[in-house]
Structures are given as C-alpha cells and as structure tokens.
Amino acid sequence: MQNRGQLIAGAFLVLLGVGFLLANLLKINFWAICFPMGLIVIGALLLLRPRVFGTSASSWYLFGTVRRDGVWTPADEEIWQLFGDVKLDFTQAQLPPGETHLRIMGLIGDVDVIVPADIGMLVSASGLIIDLRTPSAKVDRFLSPVDEASPNYATAERKLRVSTAFLIGDVDVLQR
C-alpha cells in the first residue's frame, strides 16, 4: 500500500479522538490508561520491528541531523527521527543497479537529497503539512500525499525512491 503511513496516522488519530470522547462521557482518566499503553506499544515495536515489518535496516534518532555523504553504499533503509534533519548526498555514493528505497519518518523534519542527473529519482511525501521542492516542481500540501518523479525515472539503470512521512515535513531534492 503506497499511503500506508497516512492510513496508520489517520487510524491513530481517529482512535485517539474516540478515546478522548469516551473518556469525557464516562468520566475516565484517559491518560492514566493511554500513556502507559503507548509506552508498551512503542517498546514492543522497537523490540519486534524487524520480525514484524521486514528485514530492511532501521535507524532510530530522537533529535539532530542524520548525514550521509562522501563515498558510501546506499541500501534499502528506514530512518525514524522525532525532530531533526536528514541530509543525503548521493553525488559520490555507490548506488547499486535497480531501485534503492529509503523511508524517512518522524514528527517534524527537513529532508535534503542531492542526486546526480543520471539517477532516476522518485519522491513520495505524506503528512499533515508537506512542502516538497524538486528540480521540476514545488508543491505544498495539507493532509494530501504527493509523488514526484524525475523524467528519467522509468528508464534509469539506477533508481532511488525516497518515501517520507512526517507530521510537518520539508523535502528538498537537488540534481547535480
């Protein structure tokens, strides 16, 4: 499912709203139940994540900047970040033939991607507020996902797919 992150976020917000409504109607302390349950769910996801969601590498960060540049070999990966920036420079990267898929998720973030012109690039961004800038488009969205592909994406030997899911996200793609 292409908009899986948006579906999960929407379902979470609906359940949270229903929980608050029932708590007010039944005079229950909602946080006394939900906060510990939320911590248990987050802990279980951290422990079981590779077995439940697949085998791609996963990196977790609370704050700060995630930077990948210079000579490096990208692989399918997920980057989870609470608040911060992700800067990916593929100008010297040893990108393998085929499609490499990077998933970047968090609450509030800024993603900067620099790719050579010969790499096919597809960006999928979803979230509450999304600001996406590519060499061919500038898109601002509210509660609506956006997909932008480079003109050579379908024919390129080496392809890069970047999927982002943020509450508030700013995604910039530069080609050099």
Give the per-residue pLDDT at 171. 94
Amino acid at 78: E
Give the per-residue pLDDT at 141. 85
Contact 176, 135 (CB under 8 A): no
Q: Please compute, for residue 160, the number of CA atoms within 13 A of its CA located in the half-sphere on the CB side.
A: 23
Q: How confident is the model over 30-78, as pLDDT tens digits?
A: 777 777 887 787 777 666 655 545 556 778 788 888 999 999 999 888 8
Confidence of residue 17 (pLDDT cuts 50, 70, 90): confident
Give the per-residue pLDDT at 5. 58
Tokens of 91: 């100008």
* Least confident interval from 54-68, 102-116, 130-144: 54-68
Contact 42, 48 (CB under 8 A): no
Give the per-residue pLDDT at 175. 86
Where do the domains of the chain lie?
4-53, 57-175
Closest CA to 69 of 84, 88, 86, 85: 88
Q: How confident is the model over 67-85, as pLDDT tens digits?
A: 999 999 998 888 888 888 9
| Mean pLDDT confidence for 152-169 | 91
Give the per-residue pLDDT at 1. 42
